Structure 1
Amino acid sequence: MAEAALLELPAVPPQGYPPLEREPAFDPARHLQLERPDRITTLAELGYGANEIAACPSDFGITSCFRILSDEGAAALLEVCRALAPYATSSGRIPRKVRGAVFQSKFLRDLCLSREVTDFLGEVAGLKLLPHSIPHHLGHINLNPLEVGQNVDKWHVDTLRVDYVLFVTDPATIRGGEFQFFKGTKHEIAELHRDGKAPPPERVVTPRIPGPGYAVLQQGNMVVHRAAALKSAGERITMVNGYVPRDAEFPDYNRFDQIYHADPAHVAASEYARHVAWTGRERLQAFIDQGIYTEDRAALADRLEKVADYLARAGADIRNAGAGKLEHFGDG
């Protein structure tokens, strides 16, 4: 196992991300209240086979709702998210979102990079984690659409492996806007979508969210989920934070073809290239640190060629950015 070191945020933020003038300071002692989930739905329970599960870093699928923030922490995050709301943009999937906010808010940055939270979530997921090495996968904020009846987010799987969805506002204060997941595989829902069918209601799970500061943790590229529409006007805010397996040797999963549709061109390509360079470096550093002498030239060459192939494929992805379509499974 090649245990990677945390990739810090760039020292100089990209253009177009002005820092907040006033915000609370993140204090783990006051703002965190970490409580383990009661239940974990496994990938096998969602219907995935042994080969697909073996290709994932863990067999966990999605947790029941659990607490991350104290009441004071939830109130502080709500204050920050409201201050960031004027910077919202839209995409073909999400009507109102704020990405890259870790460059604007130190509170959000410190929360998303929190070692206490990261280690806790790793214990829940059953694997060692690091905060995501692509900054725009840290502290993604979803805001309610201005049009009642429009989904907050369509049915989809994520462009990264592990993330939590945290309710910033109190779900009890709105009608609708539920976080929901499909008790099935992404292959099943893709087939339903191709046939023009919505997910069967009996296979749509709506976790109970006790209040702000509570979250679900999921293997986001395997769990099909959405944020439903509000049924009347109200405020609905969630925050999503992404993670990567700490084992740098584990196959990378980041859908750059999809990221490129969500983020500014000068940001998406640069952050992905930096992430790939970091991953390649950590894999090579693990090779260096082993210090193994061997006559097996093929094994040595294979180790180097795997890194070179990874870098070459990523380079091709960057050159071909924008060629594909934004993927989702509709509103359902």
Structure 2
Amino acid sequence: MTTYLAQEMPFPDTLPEGFAALTNEPVFDPVKHLQLEAPAEVYSLADLGYSDTEIAACPTSFGATSVFRILSDEGAAALLEVAHLLEAFTTSNARIARNVRGGAYRSKFLRDLCLHPEVTKFMSGICGIPLLPHTIPHQLGHLNYNPETVGENVDKWHVDTLRIDYVMFVTDPKSVEGGEFQYYRGTKDEFLARKKAGEPLDESKVVSPDMPGPGYAILQQGNMVVHRAKGLQAAGERITMVNGYVPRDVRFPDFSRFDQLSLVDPTHVVGAEYLRHRQWMMRERLAAEIAGFTFHTDTDAMADNLSDMADDMSDVAAQLRAAGQAEIEHFGDG
């Protein structure tokens, strides 16, 4: 039987042009900096209202968790120091006023945290499938900073450009007024239908998890869970980190949303990252099929398999040619 569990792809061993490594940051120490504590509750996609058919198209039935801990107090303090060093590199887009993507290139601390196997194993256990750190480096350790305008939302209602990710507070959420992370306990189609009809959200379905402090997070199937980050109601500092994962089973279709990534990430980096990611998926699938070789006579199945691979390649080419032609998707602030 063919096993389609991919091997982890090494992080690039060279930095993109314009990305210089930090020279004065703390060193990541998992013994001192990690404090992994399982969430008390795990919610399924069915709990959010998704149908069996919709769930079957996903790599896992997992939806979201209650709040859980990732970092120790010392780890949270070290990550905050790194976030302050990276703040000089913030960019903005139609959804987020101030964010840093690609920080894993600049910060070894951030990279080591995002790629750490103990954390990956922990997240895999929560969502019920084997995961790997995202093979697009810009999907690792994304940092969101509060806008400079008080009251402006950090991020609009949206779903993510990846399947599995955690959202972790870097700053102490108890030290500011506002700035809540929220998600909608319903489906994205339900959310969109209400928006299109001009109907208010069902406030009973808006969940604002109580974050005890920095280093606490929720894990979610981000492309299925509608969520946002509210603005501060008074001057202060709010920073969160989002770290992405891919299913280790490469039979699941890619969900990188390159059309969206090409609008927010550097043009000299994003296409090469995406191509490498899709090439890795195809290579791992081919390697699994070669390793699982058996003699058989079903030439139609052989041809179908090759056609599927050709379709994957054609899809990558089409995505690359269409780069920058879409618009940033979100559901607005309300």
Taking structure 2 as the reference length, the TM-score comes to 0.98
Q: 1:223 maps to what in 2?
A: 225
One-letter code of the match for 1:217? L
Alignment of 1:42-53 (within 5 A): 42-53=44-55
Distance apart, 1:193 and its partner CA: 2.1
- Among 318, 321, 330, the alignment partner of 1:328 is 330
Alignment of 1:57-68 (within 5 A): 57-68=59-70
Q: Would you identify which runs of 4 or more consecutive aligned residues in structure 1 move more than 6 Å?
A: none
- Among 255, 258, 276, the alignment partner of 1:256 is 258
One-letter code of the match for 1:15? E
- 1:129-152, CA deviations, whole angstroms, 9 ceiling, x for partnerless residues? 000000000000000100001100
Alignment of 1:57-136 (within 5 A): 57-136=59-138
Indicate if the aligned counterparts of 1:159 and 1:221 stay in contact, CA closer than 8 A: yes
2:111 is equivalent to residue 138 of structure 1: no
Q: 2:14 maps to what in 1?
A: 12
| Cα distance in structure 1, aligned partners of 2:245 and 2:203 | 30
2:58 is equivalent to residue 56 of structure 1: yes
2:275 is equivalent to residue 273 of structure 1: yes
What are the ranges of 5 or more consecutive residues in structure 1 without an aligned counterpart?
A: none
| Cα distance in structure 1, aligned partners of 2:291 and 2:232 | 53
Distance apart, 1:162 and its partner CA: 0.1
Alignment of 1:173-212 (within 5 A): 173-212=175-214
Distance apart, 1:197 and its partner CA: 3.9
Indicate if the aligned counterparts of 1:284 and 1:307 stay in contact, CA closer than 8 A: no
One-letter code of the match for 2:55? I
| Cα distance in structure 2, aligned partners of 1:264 and 1:192 | 34
What are the ranges of 5 or more consecutive residues in structure 2 without an aligned counterpart?
A: none
- 1:17-76, CA deviations, whole angstroms, 9 ceiling, x for partnerless residues? 111120111111110000000001110111100001011111111100000001110000
Q: 2:149 maps to what in 1?
A: 147
3-state DSSP of counterpart to 2:122: helix
One-letter code of the match for 2:333? D
3-state DSSP of counterpart to 1:240: strand
| Cα distance in structure 2, aligned partners of 1:157 and 1:163 | 11
Aligned sequence identity (%): 57
Taking structure 1 as the reference length, the TM-score comes to 0.98
How many residue pairs get aligned? The number is 332
3-state DSSP of counterpart to 2:84: helix
- Aligned-residue RMSD, C-alpha: 0.9
Q: 2:239 maps to what in 1?
A: 237
